Amino acid sequence: MDIKAVLFDMDGLMVDTESLATEAFIHSAKKQGYDMTKEETLLVLGFTTKSIYEFWENYFKNSDVSGKQLVDDHYKYIENILFTTGPRKMPYIEELLKYLKESNYKVAVASSSNMDHIINNMEKTELKKYIDEFASGAEVENGKPAPDVFLLAAERLGVKPENCLVLEDSKSGVIAGSSAGAKVIMVPDMFSPDEECKGRTYRIVGNLGEVISVLEEKNNENFNR
């Protein structure tokens, strides 16, 4: 089995939007008099927009906090930054994308975010030129940890899921990638890998630069097992 394509999660992996989302949730909760912790903001890591609304509406259903208002304000806060200055690129993302292009791998972004956010972030960071296809969680029936968005990305690239390598930073993404039948490399950002993540990943690396080394050894029997 050979790896022909690499499917990237976006938030917290390609661009530093997760620390921005944490900041946005804390700011928006404060507006309603609620002191949200960083740990609470991570409860929706990797969720689709629809799931984020559902989660917070349910979480605050017996309180004075409006979950819907919280999410509305959080998106306003984020978009104010993303659609003006744009997000920061994660370390080594450009080096990895250049390497993949030069080595003739197909590349897709498979993100839980809405398509306008995906395209905006890729344009603002000037990474769009390296990407062949895009798939958004809003286009599929089930968000991560279901495999739908990775299956859609693989289909758009014309590559079987088992010939894809998925790069992820969240647990829901790792589960989604492995359920799709792809090999998964985890690059943890704000979430430390637990036992389930360790069991579902081919490798856990410290940064995106290390993915190049893993691909360099891809012909060894271990990788293609």
Instruction: Tell me the catalytic residues.
Output: 9, 11
Kindly report the length of the chain. 225
Identify whether the C-beta of residue 55 lies closer than 8 Å to the C-beta of residue 143: no
Residue 53 φ/ψ, nearest 5 degrees:
-60, -50
Q: In what order do the strands lie in the sheet with 164-168?
A: 133-136, 106-111, 5-8, 164-168, 183-186, 203-204
The rounded distance, in Å, linking the Cα atoms of 68 and 59 is 11
Collapsed DSSP state (helix, strand, coil) of residue 4: coil
| C-alpha distances out from residue 78 to 16, 118, 145, 187, Å | 12, 13, 23, 23
